[in-house]
Amino acid sequence: MKLHYVILMGLLLPAVPAAAQDCQGYGHHHGGHDCWDCGRIGQQNAPNVRQSSAPLESLKGTIAEIHRPAVATGVVEAWLKTSGNTVLVRLGPADFLRQNGLNLTEGGPMAVKGYRAAASDEDMVIVTEIESGGKAVLLRNGRGRPLW
């Protein structure tokens, strides 16, 4: 019986750190709120997580402003100026974007596909695909789950 317990604990313990981080190692769950990227839900103040019926939108324009996080694993957001208005778009972790060769600059062109999510007092587009500077990167799968 004791050997079974030791084997079981040996199998379960390595999973604990990974479960605490979610998002494949990106520990960006702040203040116990839902994660807009990995879909962890059940707490307060989170935007709607994409359902399979939510339509994808395609937007094209120039980058008006970029919000880069203080840490490399933080999620980058940008204001995309289209012909009709300016839209806040949520991309992915800064180091993931950099690893995939995506170099965003204010004033540069950007085309995205994504779905709308209500975030606090404004709408936001959660980006699933991005193209900028001749580079295209897939950020989330068809169900909105991050690929990082």
For 88-100, what is each residue's pLDDT tens digit? 999 999 999 999 9
Q: Tell me, what's the pLDDT at 76?
A: 95
Every domain of the chain and the residues it spans: 1-148
The CATH T-level fold of domain 1-148 is: OB fold (Dihydrolipoamide Acetyltransferase, E2P) (2.40.50)
Task: List helix spans (H) across 29-131.
Answer: 94-99
What are the residues whose beta carbons fall under 8 Å from the beta carbon of 90, sequence distance 6 or more? 36, 37, 75, 77, 114, 117, 124, 125, 126, 127
- Residues (pLDDT < 50) of the chain are 5-9, 11-34, 38-52
